[in-house]
Amino acid sequence: MHVKVTLLGDLRPPEQQGTIGFDLPEDVDLSGLIDEMGTRYGEALKERILHPQGTSTFPLMRIMINGRDYQYIGGFNAQLNEGDTVVFMPPIAGG
């Protein structure tokens, strides 16, 4: 199953631009995608998304699956499907 991932702000690895493709098993959920991202890009990326306890994201981190907030469609257990788009948005401030 192919899933598209967009990492915004300082989450995006310097060598990546735009959308990143992930080929995943058919029954993977959001948690499995985050694990795969940690494997591909290092645990540091995963640690910037997940709270150290691993049960939530850092405050103000937004994860959208096909434009819907992951918290309202199953949280980390939200099932992913072929062609889904997942966007990770860290808090961004400035002026």
pLDDT at residue 95 tops 90: no
Mean pLDDT score, 75-91? 96
Q: What is the pLDDT at residue 60?
A: 85
Q: pTM for the complete prediction?
A: 0.90
The greatest distance separating any two alpha carbons of the chain, rounded to the nearest whole angstrom, comes to: 42
Burial 65-90 (b: 16+ CB within 10 A, else e): beeeebeeeebbebebeeebebbbeb
Q: Residues with Cβ < 8 Å from 58, sequence gap 6 or more?
A: 48, 49, 50, 51, 90
Mean pLDDT score, 44-62? 84
User: Residue 12: pLDDT band by 50, 70, 90 thresholds?
Assistant: confident
pLDDT at residue 71 tops 80: yes
